Amino acid sequence: MAEPAIRLTSVSKRFGGVQALDSVDFAVDAGEVHCLAGENGCGKSTIIKIVTGVYQPDPGARIELFGEVVEKVTPQEARARGIAVIWQDLALFPEMTVAENIAFETMLGNRPRRVSYPAMRKRAVAALARLDVDLDLDARLNTLPIAQRQVVAIARALVSDARLIFMDEPTASLTQSETDALLDVVRKLSARGVAVVFVSHRLAEVLDISSRVTVFRDGRLVGVYPTEGMTQGRLTELMTGKHFETTVAARDVTGPPVLEVQGLTRQGEYADVSFTLHAGEVLGLTGLIGAGRSELGHTLFGMSRADAGQVLLDGKPVRFPSNRAAVDAGIAYVSEDRLSLGLIQPQSIADNTVMAVLKRITSGGLISPAKKAALVDHWIRELAVKIGEPTDAVSTLSGGNQQRVVLAKWLATEPRVLILDSPTVGVDVGARAGIFRIVRQLAETGLAILLISDEATEVLANADRVLHMAGGRILGEYDPRETTLQGLEAAIYA
Amino acid sequence: MHSFLRNYPTEAKLLAVLVVICAALSSASPSFLTLVNFTDLLNNNAVNVIWAVGLVVVLIAGGIDISFAVAASVVQYLCVFVFGWIGGGNWAIGFVVAGVLGISLGLINAFLIHQFRIISIVVTIATFNAFFGLLMFFSSGRFLYNLPGWWSDRLILWEYETSGGTWAEIRLPVVVMVVAMFATWALIRHTTTGRQLYAFGDNPEGARRAGINIALMQAIAFGWMGMMAGIGGLMQSHITREVVPNALYGRELEVLAAVVLGGARLGGGRGSVLGCFLGVALIAVTQNGLNLMGVSPYAFKMVVGLTILIAISMSNLDFSAMTAPKRRDL
Ligand SMILES: Nc1ncnc2c1ncn2[C@@H]1O[C@H](COP(=O)(O)OP(=O)(O)OP(=O)(O)O)[C@@H](O)[C@H]1O
Ligand SMILES: [Mg+2]
């Protein structure tokens, strides 16, 4: 039996009305890759924050770090003992440069020291080299797209000589090659005796990388299992207590065309894109990150303009000067980067839900509390968002539940065309099924849905037709009923 | 040059605006572009720069301070009593006493903000009123002229007689300003503490999780501001040779405008010493130029207001964003 790196016993944490953790035990051995799995809001991020002193546990908990019982953990203490974290919300410094973000730990400590910018850069370069990526070290972080910020957050955790690294959904917005590089680094870390706690909703990844998995459900420990012999189906059952079947939902769509895209081109983003989206149809759009899928979505939603080509809505050419105009025309867009584009974090769940439909809940110029409450209740129930009170700030929700609030906000606009850009990033299996069930129901009512996703399984299971995009162009169209996963993946990774 | 533009976009734009205004003024008024006028500008605005470099540290750390100008008045008053009590003093004692008193007042702000988790604007508006009320109460609004000689005697460190027979001179406050600028620059650019201040202002939650001591950050930011307030107060009385309880009331907004003009962001995480200097310079030069052209003081208050507005909106404009369609945050 290997030495334990950390051992937590009977950890509980209550936030107002939410019991985030209920007397759970959690232990990680030195040099082990340990996976923490569970549905959205089951307490994965919370336990990481407790180990690292960001939150204090409720009385009764016992925390042992590298063989020593620690009475009160503080972030400084945790870091000093060799614990590093890749936070789910990254927790980077947007105004600072890439180099400074990565090597920020050289700046820590209460006693002032001289800053050595060359030494800082050297560390940053070394960390990026381990991930085999190239980033402009002097770029300010807030100028980078979300995927690159994620890389910065990962590099930051690698800089330190940590003995235990928590990775909270580090791969959610990475490309396949970046993910592979990360998994490789994790293996190397583990070989060097560094323990890694890995959190991800991509179960294939989880089973691939870890040797043991701890499963939480609703803040309680379900069990600790070796990954050998574990299947995705079994893990899903442990996480949710339910059994899920993946089936192909595709069918023939006979509705009239709603959105027609003809030869749409935007320099450097996508070129000559044409397709037709019918009423009642779920059209999948897949391809690797960087294929121009999200950029296309931005244009359709009025957030950027095409250089050539046109978009017809109900047969009439449209050009949206702003996203507000697109919303008014009945288009809704659920963004991939939900944390910065989709939600106003400090505002309440209720306010975020009704943000795009204020007009509909006002009477006589004032917001009607009754209409607002009814609308909010409806969508929270419909999407099974796990919340304390609708008046709680969105920032108190778990990552996956925030994603559902974004979805609720856009569904509340009752759009005719719904563009879903990676709607299940960071969403657990159970909730994915829930979200797609809703997507299906919406399509049944005649909504036209464009489903953008980089997961081939997801589009095959849920779309009526699938378009494959690469290098800004549409390369092919597939019928999910006649396409195998291997076939589509071969095309995507070709 | 390229990296300067990239790292200091606001400062670069501000510098360009300043150059344009200087060029316009020197063609409009012959007495603008003279050595005497420039040294006068420096002497008269040194105190604002000293305060600005204090304030920028608070803004970088994500806070704001409304109380510093009044705090400077409080320090001036207390200094008169302390110097009287110890029987005179000298410059060395003067700087230490003014600095320490200023730091103490700054720490009051930091303590209230950290201990009771009240946002800094609320706390400093409260202390602004409290300091001012106490000051007016205890001084009964009386002016003090009995400053020790070392304090009130002009200290000219460099002078030069121009061909026209007028004297260009650099006085003590300018040197103190240079030292304050250098010290602040060293703090925020070259110490780990300074970088922590930026990080804290930029993302407080991220800073906390990284293990930055939040209480210490508040103390350093407001302590530094307090120290600069005290030293600025000492310099102000050196220039005016008197202590007037309400003389500095209102200066905080002028300095705040200059600092924001210089690229500091009210949300924290951004700001530079160079920006402070340029911000103060822009306001000073505009006022000075209008003055030389004989514009009514009321009109020039308005023009200064407009300059601030234009410069700030320019610095917030991203020209590439102007050509792209709007994205409203729905
Ligand atoms: N600061 C907070 N205030 C109130 N409630 C909170 C707070 N932080 C977390 N919670 C609640 O605690 C529960 C657990 O949240 P946590 O973030 O640990 O979930 P998670 O397992 O990481 O989920 P996800 O997979 O969605 O990231 C959630 O119901 C969340 O709403
Ligand atoms: Mg989480």
Query: pLDDT tens for residues A183-237?
Result: 998 999 999 899 999 999 888 888 989 999 999 998 999 999 999 988 888 898 8
- On whether residue B273 sits in a domain, the answer given is yes
Mutate one of A56, A107, A168 to test the B interface: name it (highest B CB count within 10 A): A107
Q: Is residue B289 part of a domain?
A: yes
Residue B234, pLDDT > 70, answer yes
In chain A, the percentage of residues whose pLDDT exceeds 90 is 44
**pLDDT mean over A482-489:** 84
Question: CB contact, 8 Å: A390 with chain B?
Answer: no
User: pLDDT value at position A147?
Assistant: 81
Query: Could you tell me if residue B330 is inside a domain?
Result: no
B240 part of a folded domain: yes
Region A93-100: mean pLDDT is 94
> Is B279 a member of any domain?
yes
pLDDT category of residue A110 using cuts at 50, 70 and 90: confident
Mean pLDDT over residues A383-390, rounded?
A: 82
For ligand 1, the distance from its centroid to the CA atom of residue A46, given in whole angstroms, is: 6
Cβ of A95 within 8 Å of Cβ of B202? The answer is: yes
Q: How far apart are CA A15 and CA A33, in angstroms?
A: 29
* Phi, psi at B253, each rounded to 5°: -75, -35
A42 lines ligand 1 (CB under 6 A): yes
Q: Domains in chain A, start-ordered, CATH in brackets?
A: 4-240 (3.40.50.300), 257-492 (3.40.50.300)
Residues of B in contact with A121 (CB under 8 A): none
Residue B320 has pLDDT above 70, yes or no: no
Cα A140 to middle of ligand 2, angstroms: 26
* Ligand 1 pocket member A425 (CB < 6 A): no
Counting from 1 in the atom list of ligand 1, the atom nearest the Cα of A428 is: 25
CA A358, A361, A367, A373: dihedral to nearest 10 degrees? -110
B326 part of a folded domain: no
pTM: 0.82
> Which residues form the domain of B214?
2-320
Contact A469, A291 (CB under 8 A): yes
What is the reported pLDDT for A324? 86
* Ligand 1 atom closest to residue A398's alpha carbon, by position in its atom list: 17
What is the per-residue pLDDT across B97-122, written as a single tens digit (0 to 9) for each?
999 999 999 999 999 999 999 999 99
Q: How many structural domains compose chain B? A: 1
Residue B315 inside a domain? The answer is yes
Q: Residue A168 — very low, low, confident or very high, per pLDDT cuts 50/70/90? A: very high
Confidence band for B329, pLDDT divided at 50, 70 and 90: very low
CA distance B159 to B170: 6
Instruction: Give A422-481 pLDDT, tens digit per residue.
Output: 888 777 777 788 788 888 888 898 899 999 988 888 888 899 999 999 888 999 999 989
Model ipTM value? 0.87
Strands A83-86 and A270-278 turn out to be: unpaired
> In this complex, is the C-beta atom of B2 within 8 Å of any C-beta atom belonging to chain A?
no
* B102: CB partners within 8 A, 6+ apart: B71, B72, B75, B226, B227, B228, B229, B230, B231, B233
Please work out whether the CB of residue A431 comes within 6 Å of at least one atom of ligand 1.
Answer: no
Q: Does residue A430 have its Cβ closer than 6 Å to ligand 1?
A: no
pLDDT in tens, B11-20: 888 898 889 9
CA distances, B227 to each of A358, B220, B269 (Å): 49, 10, 21
CB-CB contact of B192 with B220 (8 Å): no
Q: Determine the distance separating the centroid of ligand 1 and the alpha carbon of A65, expressed in angstroms.
A: 23
End-to-end CA distance of chain A: 44
A108–B196 CB contact, under 8 Å: yes
Q: Which of B7, B191, B211 sits opposite A115 (nearest CB)?
A: B191
pLDDT class of B318 with cuts at 50, 70, 90 = very low
Q: Is B25 inside any structural domain?
A: yes
Whether the predicted pLDDT of B322 surpasses 50: no
Question: Across all residues in chain B, what is the average pLDDT?
Answer: 88
Residue window 206-225, chain A: list those with CB within 8 Å of chain B: none
Is A303 within 8 Å of chain B by CB?
Answer: yes
